[in-house]
Structures are given as structure tokens and as C-alpha cells.
Amino acid sequence: MKAIIYSLITSVLLLGAFNCTSNVAGTASETTNGISAKVSMPDGSVAKNATVKIIDNKNWLRRKKEGNSVVIHRAHTDNSGFFNIDSIDLSHFNLQIICTNSVHFVTNAQQVYELNSDRNHITLQEGLELSGEISIDTENPGSLYLFGTDFSSHIDEHNHFSFPALPHSQFTPVVEFGSPIQRSYTVAPPVQTDPYITTVTIESRSNSILVDNFNDQSPTSFLHGILGNSYWYVVSDDQGSMVLPESIYDNFATAFVPTDRAGEDGYILDVEFSINQDYFERFALFGVDLGIENSSMYHNLSDMTGLSFRAKGSGIITVQFITKSGETATIPYTHETTIELNQEWSDFTVSVAELFPNHENGVTWQEASHEVKGFSFLSTENSEMSIDEVVVEGVVVSDLLE
């Protein structure tokens, strides 16, 4: 596995001006089976002639690779700031609105803006200029795209890029080295204050996906910016067995502790499985969705060769993959194997050849692996686990999207 480190130096400037015509009139909206909303400028006035784009987030990378537009619907607001798109044939899409330097961007827009609702009201925000240079160890790239959006910047001969107006959000830059797009990165969100300079370290791997190394002490995985939510989560039986910390959202940061591996920096994830011994069906687990929770978005891991990670602790841990076929069962069908932890750090690679179905419905890993929801680590006894450097081997990010 070849790891390449890039450094992206960005400077962010606040821009205040916006040039779209504004007034303070309004109108009631008519709805169809698409999406409609009234759009306002940051000062509350009407955003006339703002450009509205509906973006296919599921097939973003594929569309870019094929040289097609990622924008599947385009509209403009009228003199009342209103827009309407009659029909959108996607279950998930991104919404991007720009009116000169005032912008608005939402991923998975259907979760925020109910289709056919006449109550939608969108207020643009003043955009941030994002500019800087990307330092790379290969030939000059051509363009820098922001994943899931229609924002892009030319990269000049000095490796300089510039976006005139971006919303306050976290973006995943994708650099095009000619064709096809070869690598994708995750970058920290822009700070929303005065001009600043930050250095972001970006890691790209040629034949694997770093799901998380926990160094950012965040319950989102590194796939968050690309695939949707992708949170680490905890689940236990309903009789009081808990994985600590109790709440991933309220308290998960306490599970990230500095690594104790000699000569290394960064953080690891520490989890304690605490089992209610009086309950007959005892378990606790933690895991990660690869994409958007509770959705129909499954990811193609048919080329995966294995899951690798570093771990230590105590007890027998079941490593399990949840697929679409498993989602249909009350107790999910999984493909799984077990590992034994000890008090010393070990490098584990769970090969797909080791995965066996925990069910007898006849669905093999080969049949299920093109629709994977995520994976988890389960224990039925009290135990502890420290984990780091979780990597899906044999696939790259674009494989997940196909």
C-alpha cells in the first residue's frame, strides 16, 4: 500500500458584497412533485435570479469521470425569489444556490427541504473566498473540484487555486490529474472568521480506503465528507448492556485517547464493552456506516480483499459486515469472523475469505458484497478494545460509488 501525503495550504477571506438585485417583496409558492422554495439574501431581501442547481451526489464521481455535468436540474429564482423544479428522480441529491457571492449548499437536500412543501424558505449566506495552493509530488493537476458540488477551480502553473464564494461547510476536494480523476481527499472545514492560513494534511491511498485513524477525535469517519454521515456508532442489547461512552453524540470525544504506541503521535479509539450478565441475548458493539444512515445507499465492496486495523484489548471480538440482505432481517444477517485481542498492539487483517455468514439464508459474501452498509465490532462478554488505523483494503473511494 502506497501512502502519499499532500499538503494543502489555504487562505480564507471573508467577502461581504453581493450584487444580485434585491427587494423585500414575497409571494406564496406553488408546488408540484419536485422542490420549491423562496430564497432570500443574507440581509433578508429577496434573491432575484439566483442560480439553483440540483446535483447528483450518488453518481458525482462517475459523472465527472465520464465528463458529464453533475448538475441534473437547473433553475433560477424569479423576481419574488421563488424557484420551482417540477420533478427530481433521485432519492438523494445536493442543492446548491448561488447569487453572486452569496451562496447556499445542502447535502441530502430532501432531508432538509421536504418535496412539495410550500414552507421552504432558504436564506443565502455570504460566501467565503477560498484560495491557496496545493503542493503535490506529481505533475501539475488541472482542476480542483469539491465533491458533491458544482464548485471547481482551475489550478494554475504555480499550483494556485481559488474559489470566489463558498458556503460555510466542509468540502472534500478532488484533484483532477488530467483524466481520469485519480485521487480524493478530505480537508478540514474553513474557519468562518477573519482571514487565516491553515495547513491541512491530506492522505491518499492507491488501493485502499482509510476509514479512520481517529486523530481528529471525531465520531465521523474520514468518509463523512464523501459519502454522507458515516458516523461511528454504538449499539447494545436492550437490557442495559452498554458500550462506553454511553452516547456517541454527547460523549464520544472521551473515547479518543492519545496513542500509547511507542514513537507515534495521534489518537486511538478506546471502547469498553460492558455486558448485562443476566440477559440471555447479550451483546454490545460499535461500528461505522460507510455512507448515509438509514438510507438505501449501500456501497460496493466486491473488490475488497480485507479489513485491516490495529487493535489491543481483551476478549473475543466478532468483526461483522452488514449488507443490504442483512438489513431485511430482524436480527441482521451479517458476514463475520472473530479475532482474539491481547494486551499488546497487533496488526489485524480480516480477509474476505475468513468471512462466513451468521445465517442460513444462502446469501454468500460474494452475492452480498456489492451492497454493504457498514461494519462493526461486537462482543458478548465484558471486554475492552483499543483500535486505530482502520483501512478497507483493495478498493478506492470511487469504487464505493459505483
The binding site for Ca ion (CB under 5 A) comprises 213-215, 266, 388
Least CB distance to Ca ion at residue 141 (A): 28
Least CB distance to Ca ion at residue 385 (A): 14
Question: Where do we find the cell 452569496?
Answer: 102
For residue 147, the minimal CB distance to Ca ion (Å) is 24
The minimum distance between CB 196 and Ca ion, in angstroms, equals: 26
Give whichever of 168 and 205 is closer to Ca ion, judged by the CB atom. Answer: 205
In the complex with Ca ion, which residue's Cβ is closer, 36 or 386?
Answer: 386
| Least separation in angstroms between CB 231 and Ca ion | 18
CB contact set of 393 (below 8 Å; sequence gap of 6+): 1, 207, 208, 304, 305, 306, 307, 308, 349
Query: Which residue's CB is nearer to Ca ion, number 308 or number 338?
Result: 308
* Residues linked to residue 306 through DSSP beta bridges, in sequence order: 351, 393
How far is it, in rounded angstroms, from Cα 275 to Cα 334?
21
309/209 Cα distance (integer angstroms): 12
| Cβ nearer to Ca ion, comparing 223 with 352 | 223
**Cβ neighbours of residue 166 closer than 8 Å, sequence gap 6 or more:** 103, 105, 127, 128, 129, 130, 146, 151, 190
Exposure string for 358-397, b = 16+ CB within 10 A, e = fewer: eeeeebebeebbebbbbbbbbbbebbbbbbbbbbbbbbbb
Q: For the CA atoms of 316, 234, 200, 181, what is the dihedral angle to 10 degrees?
A: 80
Scanning the structure block, which residue is given the C-alpha cell 456489492? 370
Distance (Å, rounded) from C-alpha 229 to C-alpha 289?
8
- The x, y and z cell numbers of residue 346, run together, are 497487533
Closest to Ca ion by CB, 57 or 213: 213
Nearer to Ca ion, 214 or 232 (CB): 214
* Residue whose beta carbon is closest to Ca ion: 266
Minimum Å gap between C-beta 264 and Ca ion is: 8
